[in-house]
């Protein structure tokens, strides 16, 4: 294992998309940001310099950061923001991760433009659990707003309703041929007939789960969230914000131009999303006369929940001798978390939610309130009054969560900054239950500091007697983000062996900002190997 050093300079850079130019926050002037490469087990030091006039933090999504939450990144959870002119040297220690992850800003909505792929190759002397690909290509899916994203965020915070939807989806920073003023810059992947390409897909979109496909080509998924899966062949994939996927593409079709394309999967809205398909071009090298117009791949319709869950539910861990899995079988802590979109009564003039309310979101009916200093600091230095340790193991009461009507008093959540404290090495089963309160929709739930096994999921209300009988304890996928299906549930398991302060949240930023988040504090265990490490000397001041 080696130490790799990088410099990230945060600054404003002009970018032109959809016929107009604006300044966006970037890393090293690049959009999407630089791809980081490392081998499994390496350590990276990233010196982040903030040369913009905007507070920012950087998160290494899916990196477990063993015993070292200090440089994990979420603002007011593990650090205060890096202020304009400030600098923070972040240490990223890779342990079990192998495959594709990504990094992104974790303050307000700056991650809309501040993000990039993070490729973790096998250790030197080891190789992939599949034939070595001829080349590998990061494919970063994103979103573009014509407006300044900071303004979109601030307007959203002011008016209490839904945010503005983006104006385009992007593949590697480009909207593609179907959007105005975009054709000449469409991302193009040149391939040789007969070769195999490892696509490293990242969904960096802020608000949307996406379907992705390539015309005439079958995709073979071999990994997700930096963990190998049994090869899964499919004509399309579903990928939610936060998720990553390793996909093999065989260039085995007649030499020509083909579109790769992505568009939204949204179970909640009935908007015509048809004209918002982002495309890139897969082009074969060689001398041939191409078709005049490349064909689009058939993508599932925007509200096709069956297509989404069929794909996601087919993922299985590889679970080979070289890549064994360790599903906790003896569970000593059972948690049941409802995740809901709710609303607060209106207390000022700007409340664009239903019936003049302010939209909110919650976990177990608590809408998270950001503290003034970060939770990690408060925990480590025993600063009282910053958070409470009463995050409930289950919702305040049970009802028919996925019905169309529901007890009205569940609609207005409590506000709080509560954490759930776990003893070291607790074996946790956590069932997420979606609700149909104000908007039944899918929620990509993401846990920091851990990967977890997705042992079960289903539609409707979780049945604690029947559903566990169908758990997959043999080869469940190991993920850090799970798309909780619309009006459904998902059961995950993990062993709390990583002491620290770890955020858990919905990766749709509107839900996250509304309060669909909570934090685990995992206590130190016995012995030096079970202790949180001390902070670096340059933690950004609050």
Q: Kindly tell me which of 438 and 508 has the beta carbon lying closer to ligand C2O.
A: 508
How far apart (Å, rounded) are the C-alpha atoms in residues 416 and 418?
6
Q: Please report where in the chains the tokens 């991650």 appear, as a residue.
A: 111
Q: Kindly tell me which of 142 and 300 has the beta carbon lying closer to ligand C2O.
A: 142
Q: Could you tell me if 446 and 480 are in contact, meaning their C-beta atoms sit under 8 angstroms apart?
A: yes
Q: 3-class SS at 204? A: coil
How far apart (Å, rounded) are the C-alpha atoms in residues 509 and 163?
10
Binding partner of residue 511 among ligand C2O, Cu ion, none, CB cut-off 5 to 8 Å per kind: Cu ion
Q: Kindly tell me which of 277 and 517 has the beta carbon lying closer to ligand C2O.
A: 517
Phi/psi for 197 (5° steps) reads -115, 135
How far apart (Å, rounded) are the C-alpha atoms in residues 534 and 377?
11
How far apart (Å, rounded) are the C-alpha atoms in residues 349 and 234?
49
Q: 3-class SS at 431? A: strand
Residues 93-112 binding ligand C2O (CB under 6 A) are: 104, 106
H or E element, residue 213: strand 209-214
The site string for Cu ion over 429-458 (x = CB under 5 A, - otherwise) reads --------------x---------------
Q: Kindly tell me which of 178 and 361 has the beta carbon lying closer to Cu ion.
A: 361
Write down the least CB distance from residue 507 to Cu ion, Å: 8
H or E element, residue 311: helix 305-312
Among 32, 42, 49, 61, indicate the residue that binds ligand C2O (CB under 6 A): 61
Q: Kindly tell me which of 242 and 540 has the beta carbon lying closer to ligand C2O.
A: 242
Among 59, 217, 420, 511, indicate the residue that binds Cu ion (CB under 5 A): 511
The site string for ligand C2O over 288-327 (x = CB under 6 A, - otherwise) reads ----------------------------------------
Listing from the earlier edge strand, what are the strands of the sheet with 135-144?
168-171, 135-144, 196-203, 244-250, 219-224, 227-234
The candidate with the shortest Cα–Cα distance to 361, out of 508, 224, 497, is: 508
Binding partner of residue 446 among Cu ion, ligand C2O, none, CB cut-off 5 to 8 Å per kind: ligand C2O
Residues 217-256 binding ligand C2O (CB under 6 A) are: 242
Which span (27-35, 147-155, 380-388, 503-511) binds ligand C2O, by CB under 6 A? 503-511
Q: Kindly state whether residue 503 participates in binding ligand C2O, applying the rule CB under 6 A.
A: yes
Q: Kindly state whether residue 64 participates in binding ligand C2O, applying the rule CB under 6 A.
A: no
Q: Kindly state whether residue 486 participates in binding ligand C2O, applying the rule CB under 6 A.
A: no
Q: Please report where in the chains the tokens 């029947």 appear, as a residue.
A: 466
How far apart (Å, rounded) are the C-alpha atoms in residues 79 and 240?
26
Q: How far, in Å, are 169, 465, 507, 525 from residue 445 at the CA level? A: 21, 24, 6, 27
Write down the least CB distance from residue 270 to Cu ion, Å: 18
Q: Could you tell me if 459 and 292 are in contact, meaning their C-beta atoms sit under 8 angstroms apart?
A: no
Binding partner of residue 420 among ligand C2O, Cu ion, none, CB cut-off 5 to 8 Å per kind: none
Q: Kindly state whether residue 508 participates in binding Cu ion, applying the rule CB under 5 A.
A: yes
Query: Rounded to 5 degrees, what angle do the CA atoms 398, 404, 406 make?
Result: 40
Binding partner of residue 506 among ligand C2O, Cu ion, none, CB cut-off 5 to 8 Å per kind: Cu ion
Given the rule CB under 6 A, which residues bind ligand C2O? Answer: 59, 61, 74, 104, 106, 242, 446, 448, 503, 505, 507
Given the rule CB under 5 A, which residues bind Cu ion? Answer: 443, 506, 508, 511
């Amino acid at each position: 294992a080696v130490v790799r050093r990088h410099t990230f300079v945060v600054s404003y850079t002009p970018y032109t998309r959809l016929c107009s130019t604006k300044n966006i926050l970037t890393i090293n002037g690049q959009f999407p940001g630089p791809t980081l490469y490392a081998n499994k087990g390496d350590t990276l030091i990233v010196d982040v310099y903030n040369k913009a006039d905007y507070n920012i933090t950087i998160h290494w999504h899916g990196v477990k950061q063993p015993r070292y939450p200090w440089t994990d990144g979420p603002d007011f959870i593990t650090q205060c923001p890096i202020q304009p002119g400030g600098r923070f040297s972040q240490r990223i220690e890779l342990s079990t991760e192998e495959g594709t992850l990504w990094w992104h800003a974790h303050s307000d909505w700056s991650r809309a433009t501040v993000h990039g792929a993070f490729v973790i190759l096998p250790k030197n002397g080891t190789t992939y659990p599949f034939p070595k690909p001829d080349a590998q290509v990061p494919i970063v899916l994103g979103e573009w707003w014509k407006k300044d994203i900071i303004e979109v965020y601030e307007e959203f915070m002011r008016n209490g309703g839904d945010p503005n939807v983006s104006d385009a989806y992007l593949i590697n920073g480009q909207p593609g041929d179907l959007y105005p003023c975009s054709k000449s810059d469409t991302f193009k992947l040149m391939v040789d007939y007969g070769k195999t390409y490892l696509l490293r897909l990242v969904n960096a979109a802020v608000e949307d789960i996406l379907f992705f496909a390539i015309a005439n080509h079958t995709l073979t998924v071999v990994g997700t969230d930096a963990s190998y899966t049994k090869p899964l062949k499919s004509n399309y994939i579903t990928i939610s914000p936060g998720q990553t996927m390793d996909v093999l593409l065989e260039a085995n079709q007649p030499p020509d131009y083909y579109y790769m394309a992505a568009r939204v999967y949204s179970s909640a809205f009935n908007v015509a999303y048809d004209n918002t398909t982002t495309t890139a071009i897969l082009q074969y090298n060689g001398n041939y006369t191409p078709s005049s117009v490349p064909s689009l791949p058939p993508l599932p319709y925007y509200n096709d929940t069956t297509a989404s869950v069929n794909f996601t539910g087919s993922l299985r861990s590889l679970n080979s001798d070289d890549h064994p899995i360790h599903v906790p079988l003896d569970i000593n802590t059972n948690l049941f978390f409802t995740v809901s979109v709710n609303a607060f009564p209106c207390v000022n003039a700007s409340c664009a939610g239903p019936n003049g309310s302010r939209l909110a979101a919650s976990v177990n009916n608590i809408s998270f309130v950001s503290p003034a200093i970060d939770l990690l600091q408060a925990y480590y230095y025993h600063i009282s009054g910053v958070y409470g340790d009463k995050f409930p193991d289950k919702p305040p009461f049970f009802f028919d969560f996925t019905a169309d009507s529901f007890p009205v008093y569940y609609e207005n959540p409590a506000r709080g900054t509560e954490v759930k404290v776990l003893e070291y090495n607790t074996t946790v089963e956590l069932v997420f239950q979606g609700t149909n309160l104000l908007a039944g929709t899918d929620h990509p739930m993401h846990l920091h500091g851990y990967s977890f096994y997705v042992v079960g999921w289903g539609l409707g209300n979780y049945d604690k007697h029947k559903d566990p009988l169908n758990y997959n304890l043999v080869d469940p996928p190991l993920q850090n983000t799970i798309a909780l299906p619309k009006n459904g549930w998902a059961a995950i398991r993990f062993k709390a062996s990583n002491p620290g302060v770890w955020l858990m949240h919905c990766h749709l930023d509107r839900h996250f900002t509304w309060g669909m988040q909570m934090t685990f504090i995992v206590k130190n265990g016995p012995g030096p190997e079970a202790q949180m490490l001390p902070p670096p000397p340059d933690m950004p001041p609050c």
